[in-house]
A and B are shown apart, each in its own frame.
Chain A
Amino acid sequence: EAAVTQSPRNKVAVTGGKVTLSCNQTNNHNNMYWYRQDTGHGLRLIHYSYGAGSTEKGDIPDGYKASRPSQENFSLILELATPSQTSVYFCASGDPGQGQDTQYFGPGTRLLVL
């Protein structure tokens, strides 16, 4: 079973503060993704990556940055957190270039911005 882990699992932040969400995968997948989940919206793509050193904007990138320092790690960074970024964040990995269209999700990070 493919393995994706996230930290922290829960985070409370203050408005204007910096938040870093971390994701690690041991699947050796090239692609990694950050989604946020909100009621009534399903999961929406924030940023994604094709491999180490690569980050690309997804559908809702405003207010977020991403970093992919290695094949295994992919971080989501909120430089100036706002209450509208209160959500559940999921990281996922997949390897569509190798016919692995299935994405494997981490357990999620619940973020509350006060």
Chain B
Amino acid sequence: GDSVTQTEGLVTLTKGLPVMLNCTYQTTYSPFLFWYVQHLNEAPKLLLKSSTDNKRTEHQGFYATLHKSSSSFHLQKSSVQLSDSALYFCALTAYQGGRALIFGTGTTVSVSP
């Protein structure tokens, strides 16, 4: 069945450094990928989305490119800020189940001064 894999559970880094969060997926359908960000005690909010192969999408300094050849949708930022500390989920639209989202297990990003 469809699935999403995030390999890092926790990423700790210093303000100003670059970050990359890994996301790979499995689906037999045409993929529609999302990155959601969840700050502490808040709802997940959409950060990025894409269904276009090899096209970079950007928002709030974050960017990601969907690569269908490698089934990947890695999230990157060139210089993290303290406010980027949050839980990041990669998600895939399921083509059954009312097009619900299939989530990865999430990556916690902790940025220190």
A49 at the interface (CB under 8 A from B): yes
Measured in the bound complex, the distance between the Cα atoms of B58 and A81 in whole Å is: 43
B100's nearest neighbour on chain A, judged by CB, is A45
Measured in the bound complex, the distance between the Cα atoms of B34 and A102 in whole Å is: 8
B99's nearest neighbour on chain A, judged by CB, is A96
Task: Give the size category of A's interface with B.
Answer: 20 to 34
Neighbouring A residues of B49 by C-beta, 8 Å: 101-102
Which of B12-20, B40-48, B78-86 interfaces with chain A? B40-48
Tell me whether chain A's interface is mostly helix, strand or loop, or mixed: strand
B65 at the interface (CB under 8 A from A): no
Q: How far is the CB of B49 from chain A (nearest CB, A)?
A: 6
B6's nearest neighbour on chain A, judged by CB, is A42
Q: How far is the CB of A94 from chain B (nearest CB, A)?
A: 7
- What 1/0 flags go to B30-52 for Cβ under 8 Å of A? 00101000000111111001000
Measured in the bound complex, the distance between the Cα atoms of B98 and A56 in whole Å is: 9
Which of A44, A49, A106 contacts B43, CB < 8 Å?
A106
- What 1/0 flags go to A61-79 for Cβ under 8 Å of B? 0000000000000000000
Given the known inter-chain contacts A43-B101, A90-B43, A103-B101, please indicate yes or no for A96 contacting B93, CB distance below 8 A: yes
Contact A107–B42 (Cβ < 8 Å): yes
Q: How far is the CB of A46 from chain B (nearest CB, A)?
A: 10
Q: How far is the CB of B85 from chain A (nearest CB, A)?
A: 17
Neighbouring B residues of A31 by C-beta, 8 Å: 98-99
Q: How far is the CB of B109 from chain A (nearest CB, A)?
A: 15
Measured in the bound complex, the distance between the Cα atoms of B32 and A96 in whole Å is: 11
Measured in the bound complex, the distance between the Cα atoms of B28 and A91 in whole Å is: 27
Contact A42–B105 (Cβ < 8 Å): yes
Neighbouring A residues of B32 by C-beta, 8 Å: 101
